[in-house]
Each structure stands twice: as structure tokens, then as C-alpha cells.
Amino acid sequence: MTPPQEDHYQVLGVDCNASDSDLTKAYKKLALKYHPDKSDQQDNSSGETFKRITEAYNVLHDPEQRKCYDDQRDARAFHQGSKGFELHEFCDLMTRQPRKESHAFRHCTTKWSCEDLNLEKIYRAVNSGDGQPKRHKPGPLRTKHCTVPDNTAVVLHSFQKSLHHNGCEARVRGFDERTGRYNLVMEGCCSFAVKPENMAQKCSARIHGLSLHPQLNGKEVQIMGFEAGRYLVMLPNSDAVLTLKPGNAILRAGTCVRLQGLSPLDLNGKMALICEVDLDAGRYSVECADGRQIRVRCENALC
């Protein structure tokens, strides 16, 4: 059946949840008013109106025709939504109680009004029909959660070709997930992109596990760079620069890191966030971008 241009429910003056008896009452009332033999109107408009009323009643009074009409009406309203149909029409469509199993929104059992329209709630309800198969969607990568925050000061290192960049300072201006590179800006220089393995955050750390200089254990230091697999650190109130293995410079919880040297090779090079520090075990509890939480040795996480 071709979708009618006129809404049969509106023609009869009833809502889409009207019972069959409601339809019959509405039809009899309108038929009595607009029947050509009884109408007081002198033109042919009553005859045309009567035809529309009769057609609407015949479709809605028949269960099978009404089911087909409702399905097409729902689909047409939903399709026209992209062309800008009114919000109250959308709310009317969504608040309708699912009367027939074939309705476009038959899984939706939650009611809303225009005042509390919440698209997230609508999405959850439409996709959570009882007894209906539910799609399993993997959790999104929390890349942003594990990337170095904007405006963080970093030091560049380990460039093999652009050697003049090694040791230079810059600030983070975002992370491009498409290329897997950080966008940096250097004072007096335009922005440029670098791989995570070519930069180290200028952040604080605590010295731990030194055997030759145990008096330094527990001291707070500032990471100033990275060279030959070691951090370059500076003690507070001192100009002396020390070199420390990553396992001896314990980063704070909340620091974004890059994993390295792990036996699950798929984790190497991945970004993660330090959630907890276990000094006694020399390990970090980290959360990866895919939501996995693992424990790694301190030397396996670089800032």
C-alpha cells in the first residue's frame, strides 16, 4: 500500500493509540456531520471530506491494514526527521506505547516528553528491548585518557636525523590519533609533530633503589630529558644533573607513560596511565588505552 499523504488518525480526530471502538465512535460522529445527504454545506466539499473520513476508517478499522499503515507511518516520520520535522512530532512518535510487534520502535518501552528529551536515554531504551538480542560493542579506546595533557612541557630526544632537535624543549598542543603523533610547539617555532618515543615529559619523580648512593633514595627530582636509555634529572636547589635508569626514577600516579620491554609484544609502544605505584615491588599498576589494567615493572614505563 502506498503511504498516504494525509494522516488517517488526524482525519478522524483520534490519537494513534485509539481503540477500535474509539475509531467507530469518531467515524459515526464525522459521517453524520459530513454525509452529502445530511450536510448543510451547499458545495462539494462535504463529499470530499466524507470520502477522506471513510477511507481513513476503512484502513484503521481493519487490523491488517492498520498494522501496515502504522509501520509505514512510523518509517515515514523517522525518515522525514532528517528533513527537519518538528520536535513535538518526534516526541509523539517516541512516546507512543508499542501497540504492534512490527512497529519501528517496538523495543522502546520508556516514555519521554519534549521537556526531558534525552537522546542518550532514547538510544539505550531503543536498543534494550527485553528478550531481544543485544549487540556487543567493544569499549572505545580511551586514547585521550592516556595521552600527555596539553601544555605539558616536554624535552625532545633520540632523533637520528634531526639531531638539532635533541635536547630542545617544547609544549604539547594535542595528540593526533590518526597519525599517532603529538603536536608540539617550540618557542619561536611553528608547530610540528613527533612520535611519543621522541619526547619525555618534564615531570617530577622520586629516586628509589640506588645502592651506590643510598642517601639519594627518596629525593624528589625533576626530569629534564632522556638520553641513552636513562633519565636526565636535577635535584631541587642544585645545578647538578644526574642520570637514572627508569627503574630508579619512580613516576607519580596520574602520569601518562609509554610501555616498553614487555613480553606481550602487542603492548610495547602503547600509551597508558599510572594508576598506582607499588614501591616495595617496584611496579606500576597502569590502565591501557583499551581499558586493560596491568602491572608492569617501573623500568617498563617511560614518561
pLDDT of res. 28? 87
Highest mean pLDDT among 43-47, 93-97, 161-165: 161-165
Q: Is 159 part of a structural domain of the chain?
A: no
**What are the two backbone dihedrals, phi and then psi, of residue 87, each rounded to the nearest 5 degrees?**
-60, -40
| pLDDT beyond 70 at 86 | no
Residue 236: predicted pLDDT: 81
Of the residues 92, 126, 160, which one is the last residue of a structural domain? Answer: 126
Q: How many CB atoms lie within 10 A of CB 158?
A: 15
CATH value at residue 64: 1.10.287.110
Q: How would residue 75 be classed by pLDDT, with cut points 50, 70 and 90?
A: low
Residue 27 lies in a domain: yes
What is the domain range of residue 106?
8-126
User: Of the residues 86, 101, 126, which one is the last residue of a structural domain?
Assistant: 126
Calculate what percentage of the chain has a pLDDT beyond 70: 72
User: Is 135 part of any domain?
Assistant: no
Question: Is residue 148 domain-resident?
Answer: no
Last residue of a domain, one of 84, 101, 126: 126
How many structural domains does the chain have?
Answer: 2
Q: How far apart are the first and last CA of the chain?
A: 66
Q: pLDDT tens-digit profile of 180-199? A: 999 999 876 778 899 999 99
Who wins on pLDDT, 214 or 133? Answer: 214
**Three cell numbers, residue 190:** 611553528
Inside any domain, residue 207? yes
Q: Decide: 221 and 206 in contact? Cβ < 8 Å.
A: yes
Asked whether residue 113 is domain-assigned, the answer is yes
